[in-house]
Structure 1
Amino acid sequence: MAKSQVGEESAMGCQTTLKKQHSTQAAKSICSKSKPYAVVKDIPANNKDSSDDLFSTEKLDGCRNGNTLDLHGKGIKKLQKFEKLPGMKTLDLSCNSIEEIEYLDNHNEITELKLYGNNIRKIKSLDRLQELQVLQLQFNNITTLRKGLLKLRKLQRLRLDSNRLICMESRELSGLSQLASLDISHNQLTDITAVNMLPCLEELFASSNRLCGVIDLSKCNKLQELDLSNNKISEVRGLSLLETLTKSLTRCFHLVELNLIGNIAETSEEDETMHLMEVSYLMPQLEYLDGVPLNPSNSENQNSQVIQKTGLANASLESTQKSCLMDFESQMEDLQQSLAERFSQVKNLMESLPKKLPFKPSHTASTKLTSVPGYGSRPQTSCRSRSRIEEARSFAAQHFEK
């Protein structure tokens, strides 16, 4: 399973560079350079007119693109109250200098809120955003969650990576009943037991923290992808890393990808192979460990299923083609039989006709008449009937032939 696409923003250069930084201030400077054409002068906190002007309806309409209001990298230091924009689903306030979340109460139709790359220290004023599904708060200065997320019951994806979180309590996550993806990597957390309050959690990214001891994720039954890389889990005394994890992940039946790199001390190739074999045995459902395929047979099974479905489709197509060919052959046979019957009828008709004509003409119509002397030349007539010709011949025989 690929990592959540929530963090892919329009300013991809900004985000990619930010991921490599562990300092919020460094991230801020880089973020401000990602869109030089969009950056404006910082708004003084006491200059109310210029701030109001930035959030005027006219200026906001110019930043709107469909159902998205894009205020990325505008140099905003303080949010101002602005009119509700009908149909707005995405609000992008990323890569600014915002320190406090405020004046968002009346925008309760928002489904995605981007506040990454600011100076926010406290999560608040989000209670009325009941339709919010995606919240991005990475690269800020947040140290604790408190009650800031309790009312976001439709939230599905949350990014809190690259902040200053020290701890998370179960009650702080108790309202996130639909959360499926959580990124808390690059913080200072020593315990993540609170995520057991998330019954729908499928992706958990907790790399580069200070996790150690027993990692309890026993109630995350739907967990599919887990990243615990670059922590200190291997420092549990008297208990191996595998024993620690397998005890807490025994009920994660859907877990297919696990990343533990950066926890175990450097080992030889032989030890690493044994480690992979042991994990594969203890967690047979795993497909990837530290990016390495554990069970190629799973891929083979998937490929065989695809091949099987393709074979069935081909068989169905072949059956259809055969049926069409059989119908065509049947039609051709019927046509042949019909033609044979008609040919036979024509042949019988031809055989029934007489071979000779029933009469024989005595003379041809082309015989020339002999002119009668003394009578002058007889005018030609257009009548050519047989009786007239016979009469003429009889007359000539009687009077002119001896």
Structure 2
Amino acid sequence: MDYVKVHNKRIAIDKNILYLESFNIKKISEIKRLKRLSNLRELYLEKNKIAEIERFDHLVNLKKLHLEANNIIEIKGLDFLVNIIELELRGNQIVTIKGLYKLNNLKRLDLSMNRISKIEGLENLTNLEFLDLSHNQIIEIDGLEGLENLKILDLSNNPISEVKGLKNLNNLSQLTLNETKIPQKPNLDYLPKLENVYYRPL
């Protein structure tokens, strides 16, 4: 069975999945032997102290990457993860959405509980089905025009005051707008597949 070493502790890899939650990791380079795992499919690094995403160019077969509850400020180093379908970055310190333009197989993206003020850098994510941008500092709904396969969108707990920028989201089935500055529940009849709109004002 393959393994990695973290702080001299040997961690086994089961079925190409590696769990390293709450290991007090500050740098991904602290995970010894990680570069050998070219067949790794899922990597879970939540609840560590990672501040910078170092290059993942050796993990070309990675499908799922979880980096929730770290100290990440900037999204970078992910260009080679061309097969990734799930990226979880909830609960970091991210200010700007960038570094995702090559991840066009991505289906699930969670950027909730960060410090993002503008929706941008998502233009190439045409296969995205789930997007969580809740608990940020977003003022305006913009930059979603290319997400033609998006089904679930959460914009809760942002200082958004107007609903716009959704017209191309013809596959959207669920929209969450709780705790925003939108004065009343919007009329979104122009979205043909929309089934559920969750709206709870401030």
Query: With structure 1 as the length reference, what TM-score do the two structures score?
Result: 0.47
Whose relative contact order is higher, 1 or 2, with alpha carbons under 8 Å and at least 6 apart? 2
Distance 1:176 1:192 in 2: 17
CA drift of 1:88 comes to 1.5
Compare the two structures and name the one with the higher helix fraction: 1
**Cα displacement string for residues 265-311 of structure 1 (whole angstroms, at most 9, x for unaligned residues):** xxxxxxxxxxxxxxxxxxxxxxxxxxxxxxxxxxxxxxxxxxxxxxx
Gaps of 5+ in 1: 1-51, 235-240, 264-402
The verdict on how the C-alpha distance between 1:197 and 1:183 changes in structure 2, with shifts beyond 3 A counting, is: same
> Given the alignment, which residue of 137, 145, 152 partners 1:196?
145
Contact 1:114 1:135 in 2 (8 A): yes
Equivalent residue for 2:180? 231
Say whether residues 1:167 and 2:118 are aligned partners. Answer: yes
Contact 2:132 2:153 in 1 (8 A): yes
| SS at structure 1 position matched to 2:43 | strand
Distance 1:63 1:188 in 2: 39
Gaps of 5+ in 2: none
CA drift of 1:85 comes to 1.5
* RMSD, aligned CA: 1.9
Query: With structure 2 as the length reference, what TM-score do the two structures score?
Result: 0.91
Distance 2:20 2:37 in 1: 14
Distance 1:223 1:213 in 2: 18
Contact 1:111 1:134 in 2 (8 A): yes
CA drift of 1:64 comes to 1.4
Contact 1:203 1:225 in 2 (8 A): yes
| SS at structure 2 position matched to 1:135 | strand
| SS at structure 2 position matched to 1:83 | helix
Equivalent residue for 2:93? 141
Distance 1:141 1:63 in 2: 30
Equivalent residue for 2:55? 103
Equivalent residue for 2:44? 92
> Given the alignment, which residue of 112, 121, 125 partners 2:73?
121
Equivalent residue for 2:197? 258
Residue identity matched to 1:151? K
Contact 1:127 1:152 in 2 (8 A): yes
**Runs of 4 or more above 3 Å deviation:** none
CA drift of 1:53 comes to 5.5
Contact 1:218 1:250 in 2 (8 A): no
When Rg is computed on C-alpha atoms for both structures, the one with the higher figure is 1
Contact 1:99 1:121 in 2 (8 A): yes
The percent identity for this pair of structures is 34
Equivalent residue for 1:72? 21
Compare the two structures and name the one with the higher strand fraction: 2
